[in-house]
Structure formats: structure tokens, C-alpha cells
Amino acid sequence: MDLFNESEDVILFKVENSGKTLEKFLYSQQISGRLFRRLYKQKNIFVNGSFYSKDTILKSGDIISIIIPEEEDDTLGEFMPLDIIYEDRDLLIINKPPFMVVHPTKSHQKSTLLNGVAFYFNQKGIKRKIRFVNRLDMNTSGILIVAKSSFAHQQVALQFEQNQVKKRYMTVVSGIVEKDEGVIDLPIGREEEGGIRRIVTKDGKKAVTKYKVIERYRNATLLDIQLITGRSHQIRVHLSYIGHPIIGDTLYYKPSEYIDRQALHSYYLGFKLPRSKEFKEFKADLPWDIKNLIQYLKK
């Protein structure tokens, strides 16, 4: 393997059984066709240290190497404090504060999380494009995954697509939820074509939300939410539909004088790391504004 530079990021796979072509073998390792074609075109896939045709038949014991090339990114970097939960060669996992936009939009051209991560990458000498794997609304806080390569992004995004990622949220809802736990299995779709709001509708996509009561307060309840599917606004729509909208959610409920956003926080994600395939759990503490809301509700 000494034909690779020490600075290069190389991912290794060992062939256990003979008979598959190079292309088919990497597909069996969850490498997408798109990613395979790009790496192959760049001549960044090797068999035992040499570049071969994608139709090469592999033998047991062969070592497949993939080079993850460095990339240029022209995103404007801006310094901002990042609450980093975890970092390795593939991922940067951040606890996003409330009120922070992830990507630049027409109304938010600067001071987005993308700008903050670009500054961090530049300071650390990480020459990679910034790829967010999951999404959070501006006013939802919690765990965000940044992939440092197309390989890492594809490996984790596939787990999201196949509902293999364990996702849990904390939220404070209006009213006393009487059942200690329950399941909401109701399809969700757009209220109108091109609109932002979602609704429960028989023509919508399957959506399943599990909830468990953590604490009950004065006409409010703290819930632990587990997402089984991942539809846009799923938690907000489902909880509003059953008569317990999230406190502070101005889209599906009303403003609150005690919190300036919906009281919703992504506190837990569990998934397999892209390279080692080890299942790893990540947690993010409740932010100050939800803690303050809970203290008020306890009075």
C-alpha cells in the first residue's frame, strides 16, 4: 500500500468470498452507483494497490482501497462558537442552537451554520466540501450531522432513507397528555401545493411517531419523542392533530410569552459510523430556553 501518500484518506475493504466483480463487490458494501462511478472515473479505486477494470473478478483476501480526494469549497467562512459533540475523519456532529439557520437563504445570506463550519474547516485544514446529512428547522435545536466526504454522506444518508437511524426528541406540549405513552400512525401531506404547512391527510405519506411522557406540569407535558419515519414537520403536525401542539409553535399553534420558538429539541441520534460500521449514540443537552420554560411550568 506504499503507493498511497500518508496524507491521503484511504478506506479499505477486505474481500471474504471470491467471484464478485469489483463493481458488484462495492455495491454490496453499500457504495452507491453514483459514488462508484465518480471514484472509478477519478481512478481512486484500487485492488491490492493497483487500478483495475470495474469488471475484474475478485478473489478471497483481496484488499480494495478507495482514496477520498481532497476538495475545494468556496463557502465564506465566519467565526462562530460551535458546540461539537463528536468528530472523526468522516463526520462532524454539532449541537445546533435555536434560531440558527443551517443554509444561506434569501433572507439569511450570512451567519448560517454553513458559514461557521466553513470557518472551522479552514482553521483545521480540512479540505472538504460541507455536506449536511440531516435537517433541522431554524427554530428547532439539536443534533446535526456534517459529512466530510461524499462517501461519509452517502453511508449515513442511506441509513436515514432506510429508517435505520434512531431519532429522539424532547418537546414541551400544551395540555396534559393522559396516556403515559402512545403511537401516532397517521399519514402526512402538504396542506396546499407549494405551501409550507403539512396536515394529516389520507393522501399523505406514512408517518409514525412514538411518544412517552417524561413529566406533567400545569397544563403542559414534557414528552420524549421517537421518530419512526422522517416526514417534514412530522412531530409538530402529529402532536397538533391529537390536541397537544408544541408550545411556542407559531405555524401549528400560537406564540408563547415564555419561549420565542417551538419547544422542540433533537437530543439523541444513533447510527452506524461510515467506516467502522460501529453503532454509536450521540446526545445533546436541552438548550437554555427549553430549560427556562420547564422551570416556569414547574412553579
**pLDDT tens for each residue of 243-281:** 999 999 999 999 999 999 999 999 999 999 999 999 999
Cell 436515514 belongs to residue? 160
Assess whether 2 carries a catalytic annotation.
no
In the chain, CATH 3.30.2350.10 covers: 84-298
Q: Tell me the residue ranges of DSSP E strands in the chain.
A: 9-14, 45-47, 63-68, 84-87, 91-96, 131-132, 141-147, 166-174, 181-185, 188-190, 198-200, 208-216, 220-227, 264-272, 279-283
The residues, ordered by sequence, that sit 6+ positions from 46 with a Cβ below 8 Å of its Cβ are 52, 64, 65, 66, 67
Kindly report, as residue ranges, where domains of CATH 3.10.290.10 are found in the chain. 9-68
Strand-by-strand arrangement of the 9-14 sheet: 9-14, 63-68, 45-47
Q: Catalytic residue among 73, 88, 137, 285, which?
A: 137
Going by the DSSP 8-state scheme, the letter that residue 97 receives in this structure is P
pLDDT tens-digit readout, 112-155: 999 999 999 999 999 999 999 998 988 999 999 999 999 999 99
Q: Is CATH 3.40.1390.10 correct for 9-68?
A: no
Summarize pLDDT for 6-34 with one digit per residue, the tens: 457 999 999 999 999 999 999 999 999 99
pLDDT cut 70: percent of the chain above it: 98
Cα 39 from Cα 162, distance rounded (Å) = 24
- Amino acid 237 reads V
> For 61-104, how does the pLDDT look when each residue is reduced to its tens digit (9 = 90+)?
999 999 998 999 999 999 999 999 999 999 999 999 999 989 88
pLDDT at 266: 98
168-195 pLDDT, tens digit per residue, is: 999 999 999 999 999 999 999 999 888 8
- The dihedral through the CA atoms of 10, 16, 19, 23 has a sign that is negative
pLDDT at residue 4 above 70?
A: no
Question: For residues 276 and 152, what is the distance between their CA atoms, to the nearest angstrom?
Answer: 11
d(CA 123, CA 17): 43
Q: Which CATH architecture has domain 84-298?
A: 2-Layer Sandwich (3.30)
Q: What is the pLDDT of residue 1?
A: 40
Distance CA 115, CA 132 (A): 12
d(CA 261, CA 138): 9
Q: What is the pTM of this model?
A: 0.90
